[in-house]
């Protein structure tokens, strides 16, 4: 056994350990008898909390190490969760019994479904969140999770041992060394560093080492990972200034009210904690040519925008928008930060100009003429690790039992971090139990799309989820995430509670029964027109129509259908969610059949496993170019399907690999 420091490497503590009352650290009510855990999770952000809770739900004794307990659940940037694509991830995290969706249902101040003009497959559940309330509720959840211990402290070093011969990797992690010199042994370690790896905050020409405002970066850990052989890259992001609520003239702005009724994020929430009439509005304003002038005249005072480091393409700074899209007006959403907060978050105004110029720019915007800036916007530059160095289970290729989740993998956003966190936590626990990894394929969920994109394509800019990234988005809808993932989570992993499993089972059987009943009811189109005159049913030819076909009409919902045919349909409108899901199933019935055929074809490729110990650089039994060999050696795809998605791996190479796999399988079967 040896530590990284013993190999000439070391990790600098981000903060010295603070001694808080024991009750703040212990999640299960008692201190562990020995510093020995199944899983250690480093970092208490959105990835870390999901990872720690998931590992504990799977039955592993888990330790969550965080610099400060009071920052667990902190929303470092925007006060919102969800959106287009991101709402899908939240539903899938929830289907695996993750935390963020339930906590959002207890902490939101404005709930709205985006993309309503399009089909339900691409609706985006979104909510403005009360920062203080979310943090308080998340801390309560984490500190009361059975088998989960929370400790405030910093990691000084990694403990490494010899690798397991049956797995790839140069060594195996077996614990961590803390700032006080004590050690914690663990069977698996999950690293969720956020923007802390060599993090630097930038305002104008000033640069300060920090992971986020007020927190020191982790410099040594980045060096350690680099010296272990990981390929390290650099990314940047930013956040807007915060504005005093009382200084904004809302009366002249476009007001956006929340949905009524509010749609919860979680499948187990009947409703959200707050009534629509008690929720807070958002307001819309826009930039103008004067804002462009201030940005362009002061580029020489902005080191962040001059950096070659890549920033987020889909959430750019106002400087980037002015440079990329000149002479345009840009939206600025004024969002509340909480029920009792005096701050407004100007979404779309991420900026890194000097503070005095930020104030000048803000007061040029309609409604903000007298606005008072409480905190300036700033940029963050940080290290990330090329995600092609991890497997679909999020375990690293180089170091066995070491898992990465969140921004360390090049993603941006709370939801992307949470999705990776729950998968990393599950697999860290499974690794301890010597069980096969839990992998979500891109045919099963947006989580699968996210991880497959990262592990096969990599990224050179902060990656965020969109519905357009998913090939099978008509099947991977927000409404059916439970039917796709909850049963797998319960039966294969044990991370899903009995209560959630029973609810998902009831919904599944109710949907199947409801669809069967709707198919069995059949009248002529003329009769349906008499029963439901609101529906645009053609009666030129009086053809037989099933109730399921009638439900496909835009004007018809289950409530209207049950009114026309009370027996046997009235019982299917007692549950709002069931009625809505039956409507969605009817909407997509015809196209889903064809998509399922496409999914089966992809799943056949995914079923063809590539041997994990293949040495692509020296392999003689298959004809591959050296470029292809290098890519396969670095990324190490687990299936033929994953190999086919790697840029530069040609169709000819895939055919040769396919032949090799089939020949190898035949030889193995003959031996057996």
DSSP strand pairing (378-385 vs 155-161): unpaired
Rounded to 10°, the helix 86-95/446-457 angle is: 110
Q: For the segment 511-545, what is each residue's pLDDT rounded down to a tens digit? A: 999 999 999 999 999 999 999 999 998 887 778 99
Contact present, 507 and 581 (Cβ < 8 Å): yes
- Give the tens place of pLDDT for each residue, 43-89: 999 999 999 999 999 999 999 999 899 999 999 999 999 999 999 99
Residue 345's beta-bridge partner residues?
335
Q: What pLDDT does residue 30 have?
A: 42
Residue 642 CA to its chain's centroid (Å): 21
pLDDT of residue 17: 32
Angle subtended by helix axes 446-457 and 414-432, to nearest 10: 80
Please choose, from the candidates 483, 486, 457, the residue with its C-alpha nearest in 3D space to the C-alpha of residue 469. Answer: 457
With a cut of 50, say whether residue 161 has pLDDT above it: yes
CB 95 within 8 A of CB 489: yes
Helix 498-520 × helix 576-587 angle, to 10°: 50
Q: Give the pLDDT score at 308.
A: 56
Whether residue 18 has pLDDT greater than 80:
no
What is the phi-psi region of residue 223: left when phi exceeds 0, alpha when psi lies from -120 to 50, beta otherwise? Answer: alpha
Per-residue pLDDT tens over the stretch 115-135: 999 999 999 999 999 999 999
pLDDT at 334 over 80: yes
Whole-number pLDDT of residue 4: 47
**What's the burial of 34, exposed, middle or buried (CB within 10 Å: 0-12/13-18/19+)?**
exposed
The arithmetic mean of pLDDT across residues 578-584, rounded, is 97
- Position 593 scores a pLDDT of 86
Q: Hey, is 297 helix, strand or coil?
A: helix
Range scoring the smallest mean pLDDT among 91-95, 223-227, 562-566: 223-227
Question: How high is the pLDDT of residue 110?
Answer: 98
Q: pLDDT at position 311, please?
A: 66
Residue 576 banded pLDDT, cuts 50, 70, 90: very high
Task: State how far the Cα of 222 lies from the Cα of 220, in Å rounded to an integer.
Answer: 5
Q: Is the pLDDT assigned to residue 20 strictly greater than 50?
A: no
pLDDT in tens, 374-392: 999 999 999 999 999 999 9
Per-residue pLDDT at 419? 98
**Longest C-alpha distance within the chain, in Å?**
84
Mean pLDDT for the chain overall: 90
CB atoms near residue 627 (< 10 Å): 12
d(CA 89, CA 178) in angstroms, rounded, equals 34
The pLDDT, as a whole number, for residue 23 is: 32
Confidence grade of residue 3 (pLDDT, cut at 50, 70, 90): low
* pLDDT band for position 22 (cuts 50, 70, 90): very low
How much is the pLDDT for 314? 65
Q: Using alpha carbons only, give the angle 377, 379, 385 rounded to the nearest 5 degrees.
A: 150
pLDDT at 396: 97
Task: Give the model's pLDDT for residue 32.
Answer: 45
Query: What pLDDT is attached to residue 235?
Result: 93
């Amino acid at each position: 056994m040896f530590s990284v420091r013993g190999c000439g490497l070391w990790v600098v503590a981000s903060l010295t350990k603070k001694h808080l009352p024991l009750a703040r650290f212990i999640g299960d009510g008692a201190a562990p008898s020995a510093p020995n855990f199944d899983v250690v999770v480093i970092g208490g952000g959105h990835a870390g909390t999901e990872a720690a809770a998931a590992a504990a739900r799977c039955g592993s004794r888990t330790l969550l190490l965080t610099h400060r307990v009071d920052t667990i659940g902190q929303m470092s940037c925007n006060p919102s969760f969800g959106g287009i694509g991101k709402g899908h991830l939240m539903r899938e995290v929830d289907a695996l019994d993750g935390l963020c969706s339930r906590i959002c249902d207890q902490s939101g101040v404005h709930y709205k479904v985006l993309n309503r003009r399009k089909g339900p497959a691409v609706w985006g559940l979104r909510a403005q969140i009360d920062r203080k309330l979310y943090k308080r509720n998340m801390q309560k959840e984490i500190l009361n999770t059975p088998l989960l211990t929370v400790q405030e402290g910093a990691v000084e070093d990694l403990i490494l041992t010899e690798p397991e011969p049956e797995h790839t990797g140069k060594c195996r992690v077996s614990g961590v060394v803390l700032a006080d010199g004590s050690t914690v042994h663990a069977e698996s370690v999950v690293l969720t560093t956020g923007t802390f790896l060599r993090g630097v905050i930038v305002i104008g020409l000033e640069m300060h080492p920090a992971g986020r405002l007020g927190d020191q970066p982790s410099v040594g850990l980045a060096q350690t990972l680099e010296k272990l052989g990981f390929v390290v890259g650099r990314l940047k992001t930013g956040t807007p200034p915060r504005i005093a609520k009382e200084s904004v003239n809302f009366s002249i702005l476009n007001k956006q009210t929340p949905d009524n009724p509010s749609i919860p994020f979680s499948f187990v929430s009947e409703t959200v904690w707050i009534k629509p009439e008690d929720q807070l509005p958002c307001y819309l304003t826009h930039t103008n040519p004067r804002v462009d002038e201030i940005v362009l005249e002061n580029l020489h005072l902005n080191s962040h925008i001059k950096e070659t480091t890549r920033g987020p393409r889909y959430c750019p700074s106002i400087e980037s928008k002015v440079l990329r899209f000149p002479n345009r007006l840009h939206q600025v959403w004024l969002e509340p930060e909480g029920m009792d907060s005096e701050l407004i978050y100007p979404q779309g105004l991420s900026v890194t100009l000097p503070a005095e110029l930020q104030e000048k720019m803000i007061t040029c915007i309609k409604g903000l003429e007298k606005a008072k800036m409480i905190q300036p916007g700033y940029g963050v530059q940080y290290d990330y690790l090329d995600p092609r160095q991890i497997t679909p289970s999020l375990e690293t290729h180089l170091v066995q039992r070491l898992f990465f989740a969140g921004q360390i993998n090049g993603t941006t956003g709370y939801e992307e971090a949470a999705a990776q966190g729950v998968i990393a936590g599950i697999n860290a626990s499974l690794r301890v139990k010597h069980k096969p990894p839990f992998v979500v394929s891109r045919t099963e969920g947006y989580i699968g799309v996210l991880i497959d994109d990262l592990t096969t394509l990599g990224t050179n800019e902060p990656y965020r989820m969109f519905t357009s990234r998913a090939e099978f988005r008509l099947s991977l809808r927000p409404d059916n995430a439970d039917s796709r993932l909850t049963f797998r989570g319960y039966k294969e992993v044990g991370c899903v509670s009995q209560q959630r499993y029973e609810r998902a089972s009831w919904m599944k059987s109710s949907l199947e029964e409801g669809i069967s009943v709707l198919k069995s009811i059949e009248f002529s189109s003329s009769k349906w027109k008499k029963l439901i005159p609101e529906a645009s049913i053609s009666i030129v030819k009086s053809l037989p129509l099933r109730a399921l076909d009638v439900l496909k009409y835009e004007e018809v919902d289950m409530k209207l259908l049950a009114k026309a045919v009370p027996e046997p349909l009235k019982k299917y409108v007692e549950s709002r969610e069931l009625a809505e899901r039956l409507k969605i199933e009817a909407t997509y019935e015809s196209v889903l059949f064809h998509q399922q055929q496409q999914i089966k074809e992809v799943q056949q490729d995914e079923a063809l496993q590539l041997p994990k110990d293949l040495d692509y650089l020296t392999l003689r039994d298959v004809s591959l170019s050296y470029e292809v060999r290098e890519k396969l050696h670095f990324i190490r795809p687990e299936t033929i399907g994953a190999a086919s998605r790697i840029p530069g791996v040609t169709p000819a190479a895939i055919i040769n690999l396919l032949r090799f796999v089939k020949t190898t399988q035949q030889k193995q079967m003959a031996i057996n």
